[in-house]
Structure 1
């Protein structure tokens, strides 16, 4: 099974179009397209910029002998045509699962939100995680260059179609239809986790949106230890953010007290430092070095390409976001 070329090109354009270091080159290309008389410059940019950028930096580097940033050149050279897929990952300590993986679980970890724009105005886009995609760019002994994208289904929340309800306390979105189907990708680090709760006031297909709040459990050493590195306190932090699917009666909820934690959860529990250390060691056994879960059901989708280089799996590094 392979990614179709259209989706692959969309991923490349999203990465380039959302990398600040690339913006000056996009403007140069835009000016050239406008001078050439292109009617739809934005469409032409999305289609042609990746190839233009590759050729532009290669000319600067090999023809004119200019010094080109290696990370930027790797980005212009495009990723390997081997796409790694995962069903789960951790982003800054927050767990995400794809919809397919979530169907067999009682927990909810596929809800995502991202800040965006629509018709010139700022909006919050709400959706569900469909795929977790890792792309590998040219790497060397000093840098492992990877980019992780989320492919999402975005719920249509157009206010003109009355597909979002906000009374100032609760926000409910309709899961009945999706939009931005041609723009499904975001950086994994751009996502904000949300939960969708049953809306018993409006019924299906409405869901109440509950933003995820971090549960912070820190290892605070009980005794001074000069041999303990200063950053160890943060390295030993532990977080489990899974949310059980639970029905809520919206009309009966205290508006200021909705929380994704179970009712018997006590915030800010103090524990022995040794216990947190033990939990962390156990968790490290479950998570690979690159931050993805061991049981992530990795699938490799392979393109046949003479230009494809070797992939190094001894680490990852993303410096493009």
Structure 2
């Protein structure tokens, strides 16, 4: 941002322009910055070198991922199951403007709500970084808080299509329950963290369409590979399908 202001003095006070230009040019700027530092023999970490180089053009996609004690699925996979694990939220600092002519934007934290559509595993050669591609609800017209303090979202009002990705480590899992009084809205509920563990047999059986953890740094949360789990172990169950009883004797 300092570089942009210095090289564009006429635009230095236009926060909206600076933010958009920063998003557009940061990757190129970082690569050049690291190249100059290497040429000047400045100390640069290996991680930063590979980050500046960028990931390969081949992206592995998966249907599920486990991180921070939560199991995440893509929306397409959720459609085939009775459980819901595709809802996510993230608190991010964003620039808020009242209109296109607003010259005094305000920066503040907002909570965004979305649904995972794809799970990507970005390959930086020396390490990998998992990211979630999501459909995000429009915060202006698609999110509200009712008289009981519950947050509701409207999935017919989507936005932020130019910025769909978040790091898997940034995601917080949420669960959406359709409002019985107004089906257009869904109530947002938080899900408790769960400690998933898998046997070697489970890992071998489900590795073909699950993502395996490749830590970037040692401080990242431990992640386990997974694919499917017994629905009886999952706390959040959808209520839009007919249930059935299980005879314990017959299953013994």
TM-score normalised by L of structure 1: 0.57
Counterpart CA distance in 2 for 1:34 and 1:41 is 9
Counterpart CA distance in 1 for 2:139 and 2:42 is 48
51, 55, 74: which is aligned to 2:50? 74
Give the secondary structure class of the aligned counterpart of 1:129.
strand
CA-CA distance at 1:49 after TM superposition: 2.3
CA-CA distance at 1:213 after TM superposition: 1.1
Residues 102 and 110 of structure 1 are in contact (CA less than 8 Å); yes or no, is this contact kept in structure 2?
yes
* 1:9-56 alpha-carbon deviations (Å, 9 max, x no partner): xxxxxxxxxxxxxxxxxx453244324868733333222221222122
Counterpart CA distance in 2 for 1:281 and 1:99 is 23
Counterpart CA distance in 2 for 1:317 and 1:107 is 28
What is the alpha-carbon root mean square deviation over aligned residues?
2.7
**Distance change (3 Å), C-alpha of 1:70 and 1:110:** same
**Distance change (3 Å), C-alpha of 1:35 and 1:60:** farther
Is 1:110 aligned with 2:86?
yes
The unaligned stretches of length 5 or more in structure 2 are 97-106, 221-252
Counterpart CA distance in 2 for 1:138 and 1:33 is 33
In structure 2, the partner of 1:294 is: 207
Aligned length: 204
Counterpart CA distance in 1 for 2:144 and 2:51 is 38
CA-CA distance at 1:85 after TM superposition: 0.8
196, 214, 218: which is aligned to 1:316? 214
Residues 29 and 52 of structure 1 are in contact (CA less than 8 Å); yes or no, is this contact kept in structure 2?
no
93, 98, 117: which is aligned to 1:130? 117
In structure 1, the partner of 2:25 is: 48
- Structure number with greater Rg is 1
CA-CA distance at 1:124 after TM superposition: 1.4
In structure 2, the partner of 1:98 is: 74
Residues 170 and 208 of structure 1 are in contact (CA less than 8 Å); yes or no, is this contact kept in structure 2?
yes
**Distance change (3 Å), C-alpha of 1:165 and 1:43:** closer
In structure 2, the partner of 1:204 is: 183
Structure 1 outlier segments of 4+, above 4 Å: 35-39
Is 1:148 aligned with 2:148?
no
Residues 65 and 210 of structure 2 are in contact (CA less than 8 Å); yes or no, is this contact kept in structure 1?
no
